Amino acid sequence: MTQCTHCSTPWSVRDKIRRLVTFSQGLPCPYCGTIQYYSLKSKIRSSYFIFPMLLFFFIPGFLDTPWQLHILIAAVGLFVTIVLQIKTIELSDKEEYPF
């Protein structure tokens, strides 16, 4: 469950979508205003979702599939990736780096 590290209020799906589409590193919690960041664990997990997404895009290109099916597979892959990203967001009160 995605919740603010300061006020412990769970974020709604709408809040998480807003977090996902924002390019800035930090986003204020909609309930207490404290800036929240992706946790390192969440960043690493989201990178695991990106790799299968690339396979969804490129594997049909090596097979002899019609372009309509290719687009459909890529769209389903993109949708699944976005849903997984939204479901697994974890927040941190400070920016965390792997190094």
- Site for Zn ion, rule CB under 5 A: 4, 6-7, 29, 31-32
Q: How far is the CB of 65 from Zn ion (least distance, A)?
A: 46
The order of strands in the sheet holding 35-38 is: 27-28, 35-38, 91-92
Instruction: Name which of 5 and 65 has its Cβ closer to Zn ion.
Output: 5
22-39 burial string, b = 16+ CB within 10 Å, else e?
A: eeeeebebebeeeebbbb
Q: How far is the CB of 11 from Zn ion (least distance, A)?
A: 9
Instruction: Name which of 9 and 47 has its Cβ closer to Zn ion.
Output: 9
